[in-house]
């Protein structure tokens, strides 16, 4: 599928206004690397003849929109309400080999744009276009998050054996092309620094910003509900401020969150949330909470859930005041850039079922919008890129539906959705020990008190200073009364208890939580 600028703008002008205010804090996100999810149409696997190599994870493996559409119920069954897909735009037409012949791969992941306003042909098929995918998600009351790239196109250091060698410097979009090696329009950054050999765009040229604004307005008009923005640090803050302003002006209640690689520079990371005043839904953007991640070998929280001390969480949360609103941060266990939480020996470390429970209990109750990487529900293993991007497939999806983590995710999504404080509430620490952690979340006059226990034995936990009144515990359904602000509970091994004073929607305590741990 391809779009001219006129078609993009026509779709934008014809787009219906939002039915009502949207708050993305009410969502939970499932991240899909589309090529690695499910192969619904084998006919689109090897479009150019040299880019599809089953088993070689540097090349296309066959996942597509049809495969994703056929398995939306799997995602919805776990309770996820938004699907983040890696960039769907057209990639280089075939295999890539660099000039030194030390690296070869294909653009299966979507981050090597060849044409920003065309959809990659490996992803679409009859009845499963990008528009069809968006409609299918919306029909199930789910949202689509499109991963977008503005700082670079594909790699230009191609070996002459590459089929598209003669066009290796061209970046395309809206029917126009720009040549890195004949850059009369100053479209690219030639001074550096750049990411690898990727064609780096010039953030000082206002025409580049306008070009991208027109491109991504078109995707908004198609029905995309949010953008995840790649590589923030490679463009200046004024560029992002102007881009965000344009996106919010064209679509109300539109969520954007960006990626900035750091696990300890809170000033830099938080600066993107303060590019402009107002709610993150209609002003500037939020960010991925990299420092709170458990990515193998890199995420600070990994060591907490693999035998460490919850004091690390206190240290991370102590920087929350730097963000415009930390409840809009997108939190995650792991993703497609580092070893999975369930790493492999020498490339991360394996994770036990209990460690998965502990980590997910944490991410679904602390402030922020939880995001889960595809395959987590079946404890998919994986080391560094590309091993962390294994094919899940129909068989893997089916197997995962009997995994205790699948049931735990279903339970946690239900718990989170049942109470507004767990989605939108300000977080305050109650107590912390090596294996126990307690905090409260307050939203207007509603309160949630959360007790987490990652020890191998049940633990008594206490809280003080809570509002008096009746509370419902969301995991078991029991009712308690808080007097003089005090609440006590025994929390099971590798378990949680969530006590809520306020409105509770649904009955999450009726769902199984995968508690049985296999020998």
Enumerate helices (H) and strands (E) in the chain, giving the number of each.
13, 24
Q: Is residue 183 part of a domain?
A: no
Q: What does pTM read for this prediction?
A: 0.95
pLDDT per residue of the chain (519 residues) written in tens, 0 to 9: 555 555 544 443 333 334 457 899 999 999 999 999 999 999 999 999 999 999 999 999 999 999 999 999 999 999 999 999 999 999 999 999 999 999 999 999 999 999 999 999 999 999 999 999 999 999 999 999 999 999 999 999 999 999 999 999 999 999 999 999 999 999 999 999 999 999 999 999 999 999 999 999 999 999 999 999 999 999 999 999 999 999 999 999 999 999 999 999 999 999 999 999 888 899 889 999 999 999 999 999 999 999 999 999 999 999 999 999 999 999 999 999 999 999 998 899 999 999 999 999 999 999 999 999 999 999 999 999 999 999 999 999 999 999 999 999 999 999 999 999 999 999 999 999 999 999 999 999 999 999 999 999 999 999 999 999 999 999 999 999 999 999 999 999 999 999 999 999 999 999 999 987 554
Three-class DSSP category at 73:
helix
Which CATH number do you get for residue 366? 3.20.20.80
Which CATH number do you get for residue 468? 2.60.40.1180
Q: Is residue 304 part of a domain?
A: yes
Give the residue ranges of DSSP H helices in 236-382.
Answer: 237-250, 266-271, 302-305, 311-317, 353-363
C-alpha distance from residue 347 to each of 39, 204, 350 (Å): 28, 39, 9
For residues 411 and 365, the answer to whether their CB atoms sit within 8 Å is no
Residues 270 and 134 in one domain: yes
Into how many domains does the chain fold? 2
Residues 397 and 450 in one domain: no
Residues 247 and 390 in one domain: yes
Interacting residues of 196 by C-beta distance below 8 A, sequence separation 6+: 155
Pick from 33, 55, 54: nearest CA to 45: 54
User: What is the helix (H) or strand (E) element at residue 84, kind and residue range?
Assistant: strand 82-85
For residues 388 and 336, the answer to whether their CB atoms sit within 8 Å is yes
Pick from 420, 479, 413: nearest CA to 446: 420
Note down the domain range covering 432. 426-509
Residues 503 and 448 in one domain: yes
Sheet of strand 369-373, all strands in order from the earlier edge strand to the far edge: 286-287, 255-258, 226-229, 143-148, 82-85, 29-32, 369-373, 330-332
- Predicted local distance difference test score (pLDDT) of residue 5: 52
* Distance (Å, whole) CA 1 – CA 117: 9
Interacting residues of 419 by C-beta distance below 8 A, sequence separation 6+: 446, 448, 474, 498, 500, 502, 503, 504, 505
Q: Is residue 189 part of a domain?
A: no
- Predicted local distance difference test score (pLDDT) of residue 6: 54
β-bridge mates for residue 490, sequence order? 460
Tell which of 373, 402, 424 closes a domain. 424
DSSP 483: B
Q: Is residue 490 part of a domain?
A: yes
Tell which of 408, 424, 440 closes a domain. 424
Count of CB atoms situated within 10 Å of the CB of 355: 22
Question: Could you write out the DSSP letters of every residue in 398-448?
Answer: HHHTTSHHHHHHHHHHHHHHH-HHHHHPEEEEEEE-SSEEEEEEEETTEEE
Count of CB atoms situated within 10 Å of the CB of 211: 22
Residues 383 and 503 in one domain: no
Residues 113 and 243 in one domain: yes
Residues 473 and 372 in one domain: no
β-bridge mates for residue 143, sequence order? 82
* Distance (Å, whole) CA 438 – CA 463: 8
Residues 402 and 491 in one domain: no
Residues 440 and 406 in one domain: no
* Distance (Å, whole) CA 331 – CA 281: 17
CA dihedral 298, 301, 303, 306 (to 10 degrees): -120
Place of tokens 């839904």: 281
- What is the b/e burial string over 172-188, where b = at least 16 CB atoms within 10 angstroms of the residue's CB? bbbeeebbbeeeeeebb
* Distance (Å, whole) CA 451 – CA 461: 7
Count of CB atoms situated within 10 Å of the CB of 138: 13
Q: Which two tokens stand for residue 21?
A: 């205010």
* Distance (Å, whole) CA 42 – CA 183: 39
For residues 258 and 272, the answer to whether their CB atoms sit within 8 Å is yes
CA dihedral 43, 46, 48, 52 (to 10 degrees): 170
C-alpha distance from residue 102 to each of 97, 105, 159, 281, 512 (Å): 8, 10, 10, 44, 50
Tell which of 367, 399, 424 closes a domain. 424
Q: Is residue 350 part of a domain?
A: yes
Q: Is residue 109 part of a domain?
A: yes
User: What is the helix (H) or strand (E) element at residue 12, kind and residue range?
Assistant: helix 5-14
β-bridge mates for residue 449, sequence order? 440, 499
Residues 255 and 265 in one domain: yes
* Distance (Å, whole) CA 235 – CA 237: 7
* Distance (Å, whole) CA 222 – CA 137: 13
Q: Is residue 359 part of a domain?
A: yes
Q: Is residue 166 part of a domain?
A: no
Pick from 39, 35, 41, 87: nearest CA to 59: 35
Residues 262 and 303 in one domain: yes
Residues 397 and 431 in one domain: no
Q: With the C-alpha atoms ordered 95, 100, 103, 108, is the resulting torsion angle positive or negative?
A: negative
């Amino acid at each position: 599928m391809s779009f001219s600028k006129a078609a993009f703008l026509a779709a934008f002008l014809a787009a219906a206004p939002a039915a009502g205010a949207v708050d993305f804090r009410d969502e939970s996100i499932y991240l899909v690397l589309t090529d690695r999810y499910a192969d619904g149409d084998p006919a689109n696997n090897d479009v150019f003849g040299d880019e599809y190599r089953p088993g070689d994870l540097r090349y296309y493996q066959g996942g597509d929109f049809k495969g994703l559409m056929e398995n939306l119920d799997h995602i919805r069954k776990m309770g996820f309400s938004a699907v983040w897909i890696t960039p769907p735009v057209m990639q280089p037409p075939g295999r890539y080999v660099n000039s030194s012949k030390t690296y070869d791969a294909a653009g299966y992941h979507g981050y090597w744009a060849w044409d920003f306003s065309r959809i990659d042909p490996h992803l679409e098929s009859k009845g499963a276009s990008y528009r069809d995918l968006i409609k299918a998600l919306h029909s199930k009351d789910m949202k689509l998050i499109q991963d977008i790239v503005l700082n670079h196109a594909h790699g230009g250091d191609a070996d002459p054996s590459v089929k598209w060698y003669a066009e290796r410097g061209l970046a395309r979009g809206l029917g126009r092309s720009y040549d890195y090696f004949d850059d009369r329009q100053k479209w690219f950054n030639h001074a550096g620094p750049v990411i690898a050999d990727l064609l780096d765009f010039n953030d000082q040229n206002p025409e580049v910003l306008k070009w991208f604004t027109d491109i991504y307005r078109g995707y908004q008009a198609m029905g995309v509900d949010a953008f995840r923005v790649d590589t923030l640090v490679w463009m200046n803050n004024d560029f992002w401020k102007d881009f965000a302003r344009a996106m919010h002006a064209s679509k109300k209640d539109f969520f954007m969150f960006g990626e900035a690689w750091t696990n300890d520079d809170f000033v830099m990371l938080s600066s993107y949330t303060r590019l402009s005043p107002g709610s993150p839904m209609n002003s500037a953007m939020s960010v991925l909470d990299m420092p709170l991640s458990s990515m193998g070998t890199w995420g600070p929280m990994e060591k907490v859930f693999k035998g460490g001390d919850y004091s690390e969480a206190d240290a991370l949360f102590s920087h929350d005041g730097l963000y415009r609103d930390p409840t809009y941060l997108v939190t995650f266990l792991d993703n497609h850039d580092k070893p999975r939480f369930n790493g492999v020996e020498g490339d991360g470390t394996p994770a036990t079922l209990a460690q998965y429970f502990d980590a997910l209990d944490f991410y679904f109750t602390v402030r922020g919008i939880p995001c889960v990487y595809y395959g987590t529900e079946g404890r998919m293993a994986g080391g560094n890129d590309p091993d962390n991007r294994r094919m899940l497939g129909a068989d893997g999806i089916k197997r995962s539906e009997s995994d205790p983590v699948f049931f735990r995710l279903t339970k946690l999504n239900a718990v989170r959705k049942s109470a507004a404080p767990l989605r939108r509430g300000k977080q305050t620490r109650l107590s912390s020990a090596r294996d126990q952690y307690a905090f409260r979340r307050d939203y207007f006059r509603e309160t949630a008190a959360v007790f987490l226990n990652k020890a191998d034995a049940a633990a008594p936990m206490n809280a003080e200073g809570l509002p008096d009144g009746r509370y419902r515990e969301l995991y078991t359904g029991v009712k308690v009364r808080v007097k003089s602000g005090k609440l006590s509970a025994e929390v099971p091994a590798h378990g949680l208890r969530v006590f809520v004073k306020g409105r509770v929607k649904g009955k999450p305590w009726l769902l199984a939580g995968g508690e049985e741990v296999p020998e």
